[in-house]
Amino acid sequence: MSFSNLGLSDEIIRAVTELGYTKPTPIQMQAIPAVLSGSDLLAGAQTGTGKTAGFTLPLLHRLSSDKNFKDTSNGYSPIRALILTPTRELAAQVEESAREYGKYLNLNTMAMFGGVSINPQKRLLKGRVDILVATPGRLLDHVQQGTLNLSHIEVLVLDEADRMLDMGFIRDIRRILSLLPKQRQNLLFFATFSDKIKALAAGLLNHPKMIEVARRNVTAETVAQKVYKVDRDRKRQLLAHLIREDNWYQVLVFTRTKYGADRLVKQLGDERIQALAIHGNKSQTARTHALAKFKNGSLQVLVATDIAARGLDISELPHVVNFDLPNVPEDYVHRIGRTGRAGASGEAISLVSADEYPLLRDIEKLIEQRLPFEVIAAIGANAHSKPEAIPDASKHRPRPQGDKRPARSTAKASPQTSGKQSAARTIIGDKNSSGSSSGLRRRVKRDR
Ligand code: AMP
């Protein structure tokens, strides 16, 4: 199967070929014909599957080959396609993809999001915009100010719709829907299915085609997942140690709070590890700057709250670290989906303290998989202290039905459902006299 078999125009095929795409991904094989047929679509796609091209390529084809299209507004064409995304970063990324895929077509794209001045956006809207990629809040600001006309939208795409609902955008989405023409094509993309998505789809879509390329809530097989059980106050030291000892570069680290992200950046800086943070309290300029540096490889560590977990495409990102586990188990799947994208392999490491064991249990339940773990027994500044064993999470966890084996003892690895040997070991954190983490010693203890 090639892109030309899917009926896309030569201009589009030329653009994707230049980007190195040789054949469509599974979501593209299904989504492209469905969108070209003109029907509504409900599509579940795991992160990193190529879903952006899955809806953008047929959208570009449809808009560029509509010979009946008439310019009905005064002097310039009206906006014909609207793509809504939950975050500014994703809006920028999708618009950039649409621009690249459509570079040989006579179509204009525009990204619209908050946190930056509205005036340049107003100026752009006075010119020709065919495809608008927007976050809901700023879009409604433009509507309020009378600078945006959505009455000619032919295609609506809700990208990462589940995230938009999680972020409380449902009222904004309803308002935006009320501004669109009744007759239009609707494409709804979600990463994690939920009852909320079901309800949104029921109200929005008209006899949709349904596609789902990956099982719900599963993690990409190309991502090696690992858990380090460690005292909360040792996490920073362990992270710095891993980054240094394993020579990690391009590490995306997730924290639960904005404050935690800022604090970690400072602490890593104290260890001479270059890091920047992106989260909702940072200016858009700072967010864009940090992300650009991280993407082009000139920033070693990017610390992010879940704002960055969805949709961001950083090619061949090798390491994702959960410094804190997310409160919502689905976010774990999205966070680690930043690595192992488009078939590349990656590593996702979670630093889990005892208070997070219930969260770990929820994650394992969601992904239907027990995660291999290593226990990090830390010694305090006093070199004579004994290693502290950290209680085994499997003791807190309901045992699988039918599991008759005796309960396992403390500090041993939980059995993996795959039956592979578990990777339990103990890393002894032995602070050197200066108190830095550089003196960490590893002791490997196989438990069977
Ligand atoms: P997405 O899931 O849309 O964020 O895409 C993930 C990554 O896959 C992006 O870097 C795309 O450039 C890349 N990609 C999308 N489609 C293809 C394809 N057919 N062949 C190779 N790479 C692709």
DSSP characters over 110-141: EEE-SSS-SHHHHHHHHS--SEEEE-HHHHHH
Q: Is the CB of 85 under 6 A from ligand 1?
A: no
Q: Is the CB of 340 under 6 A from ligand 1?
A: no
Instruction: Give the per-residue pLDDT at 432.
Output: 34
Contact call for residues 192 and 330 (beta carbons, < 8 A): yes
Cβ-proximal residues to 153 (8 Å cutoff; 6+ apart), any chain: 79, 80, 81, 82, 180, 181, 184
- The full length of the chain comes to 448
Tokens of 57: 């390529």
Give CA–CA dist 82/150, Å, rounded.
8
pLDDT band at 237 (very low <50, low <70, confident <90, very high): very high
Q: State the Cα angle at 418 between 417 and 419, rounded to 5°.
A: 90
In which element (H, E) is residue 62 found? Answer: helix 51-65
Nearest alpha carbon, ligand 1 atom 5: 50
- pLDDT (average), residues 150-179: 95
Instruction: Give the per-residue pLDDT at 436.
Output: 35
Indicate the CATH number for domain 223-443. Answer: 3.40.50.300
Residue percentage of the chain with pLDDT more than 90: 58
Instruction: Give the per-residue pLDDT at 356.
Output: 97
Q: State the Cα angle at 196 between 279 and 48, rounded to 5°.
A: 55
Instruction: Give the per-residue pLDDT at 33.
Output: 96
The pairing of beta strand 346-352 with beta strand 426-428: unpaired
Is the pLDDT at 321 greater than 50? The verdict is yes
CA distances from 8 to 59, 81, 111, 255 (A): 10, 18, 24, 42
Tokens of 374: 């290593």
- SS3 of 362, please? helix
Q: Is the CB of 24 under 6 A from ligand 1?
A: yes
**Cα of 270 from ligand 1 centre, angstroms:** 37
pLDDT band at 17 (very low <50, low <70, confident <90, very high): very high
Give CA–CA dist 426/424, Å, rounded.
7
pLDDT band at 241 (very low <50, low <70, confident <90, very high): very high
Cβ-proximal residues to 47 (8 Å cutoff; 6+ apart), any chain: 191, 220, 310, 311, 333, 334, 337, 338, 341
Select the more confidently predicted residue: 27 or 333. Answer: 27
Tokens of 319: 């390491």
Q: Is the CB of 183 under 6 A from ligand 1?
A: no
pLDDT band at 337 (very low <50, low <70, confident <90, very high): confident
Q: Is the CB of 344 under 6 A from ligand 1?
A: no
94-137 residue pLDDT tens: 999 999 999 999 999 999 999 999 999 999 999 999 999 999 99
Q: Is the CB of 87 under 6 A from ligand 1?
A: no
Nearest alpha carbon, ligand 1 atom 15: 50
DSSP annotation string for 213-248: -S-TTPPPTTEEEEEEE--GGGHHHHHHHHHHHTT-
Q: Is the CB of 48 under 6 A from ligand 1?
A: yes
Instruction: Give the per-residue pLDDT at 408.
Output: 32
Q: State the Cα angle at 93 between 114 and 39, rounded to 5°.
A: 100
Nearest alpha carbon, ligand 1 atom 11: 50
Nearest alpha carbon, ligand 1 atom 1: 50
245-285 residue pLDDT tens: 888 888 999 999 999 999 999 999 999 999 999 988 888 89
Phi, psi of 92 (to 5 degrees): -60, -40
Averaged pLDDT score across all residues of the chain: 81
Looking at 67-71, 75-79, 222-226, which range is the least confident one? 67-71
Fold match between 3-212 and 223-443?
Answer: yes
**Cα of 19 from ligand 1 centre, angstroms:** 9
DSSP annotation string for 79-106: P-EEEE-SSHHHHHHHHHHHHHHTTTSS
**Cα of 54 from ligand 1 centre, angstroms:** 9
For CA atoms 257, 261, 267, 268, give the dihedral sign.
positive
Residue 312 CA: nearest ligand 1 atom is 4
Q: Is the CB of 165 under 6 A from ligand 1?
A: no
351-409 residue pLDDT tens: 999 999 999 999 999 888 899 888 876 523 332 233 333 344 333 333 333 333 333 33
- Which of 359, 341, 369 lies closest to 45, judged by CA? 341
pLDDT band at 315 (very low <50, low <70, confident <90, very high): low
DSSP state of 305: -
Residue spans of the domains in the chain: they are 3-212, 223-443
pLDDT band at 55 (very low <50, low <70, confident <90, very high): very high
In what order do the strands lie in the sheet containing 319-322?
Answer: 275-278, 301-304, 251-254, 319-322, 346-352, 223-229, 373-375, 426-428, 441-443
**Cα of 181 from ligand 1 centre, angstroms:** 31
How many other C-beta atoms lie within 10 A of the C-beta of residue 181?
A: 11
Q: In CATH, what is the architecture of 3-212? A: 3-Layer(aba) Sandwich (3.40)
In which element (H, E) is residue 212 found? Answer: strand 209-212
Instruction: Give the per-residue pLDDT at 378.
Output: 52
In which element (H, E) is residue 426 found? Answer: strand 426-428
